[in-house]
Structure 1
């Protein structure tokens, strides 16, 4: 299994991950045999190839910014996100406990158990429609801390075209 990182843990099932850089990580139970792990990887080679192609395309569309571009995206995030959060929070009748801008690479936003919102400055590299979707998505987590049907109904109530906006984040 050249080029595949193996991580064993107390999990019960085998799992695959393709990182942003295209590296393959296999997560396996402590007692899984090497043969079973190799067979699992072999059986999923098509999926791995597709996932690596998606990650390459994403990196080409959104390369790691240089310092100047990073500073610009951070400035825009600090300038544009607070008014968006205030606008949608008022429309939705919600009050976040606070808001921060982060350098998160794997998620555009999050909502803590204490209702504090975090947004990655990397989000600013996407269209405004996608940024608004992430704001509404995270605000909806103040009410529903999961992605159940009631959560999505709340998102849809304030953003009926959320599916199209969410798709912009995957391009």
Structure 2
């Protein structure tokens, strides 16, 4: 039987999640019997095993930077990303309301509803072409708050090779 953390809440369904830290978390309704939860986990044992293997592979391929490396990457992001945002914002005729550097793990950038941009310092582990793509991508969200055809047309207008650059983030 797979070991797991159980989180009960006022939900109606069961779900299982494998985290980056290789923890298995099962979310369940408040009053669901433990045997039903165990049965659910057993039924999903193959998926859990594959997800754990995938997370271990990712961890080996992309080890977490140590504290000094993380600080150096964050300092570099603070130095390099704001000038890139100013450069592309001027070209695109856009004005973000703010720029922040974060330690987000699951996304390289975001654009708030109020047009403030956030970028993860982890982006600095990728080639400069990929960083430029993320900057243009987030700036385009000032105009289009979705990933519809008009959004991609705007990104492509200022970065015709954006698909190649985006692929760099997946390596």
Q: Same fold (TM over 0.5)?
A: yes
RMSD of aligned alpha carbons: 2.6
- Shift of residue 125 of structure 1? 1.1
Counterpart residue number, 1:168: 168
Q: Distance in 2 between matches of 1:36 and 1:77?
A: 48
Q: Where do residues 118-133 of structure 1 align in structure 2 (5 Å cutoff)?
A: 118-133=118-133
Any conservation in 2 of the 1:104–1:120 contact (CA below 8 Å)?
A: yes
Counterpart residue number, 1:54: 54
- Shift of residue 135 of structure 1? 1.8
1:93-151 residue CA offsets vs partner (Å, 9 max, x unmatched): 32110101112233222222211111111111122233223222322222233344544
Counterpart residue number, 1:139: 139
Number of residue-to-residue matches in the alignment: 171
| TM-score (structure 1 length as normaliser) | 0.80
Q: Where do residues 38-49 of structure 1 align in structure 2 (5 Å cutoff)?
A: 38-49=38-49
Q: Distance in 2 between matches of 1:165 and 1:45?
A: 37
Counterpart residue number, 2:72: 72
1:43-81 residue CA offsets vs partner (Å, 9 max, x unmatched): 333332232223222222322222331222112201211
- Mark the structure with the bigger radius of gyration: 2
Any conservation in 1 of the 2:2–2:42 contact (CA below 8 Å)?
A: no
| TM-score (structure 2 length as normaliser) | 0.80
Q: Distance in 2 between matches of 1:30 and 1:167?
A: 42
Gaps of 5+ in 1: none
Counterpart residue number, 1:25: 25
Gaps of 5+ in 2: none
Counterpart residue number, 1:105: 105
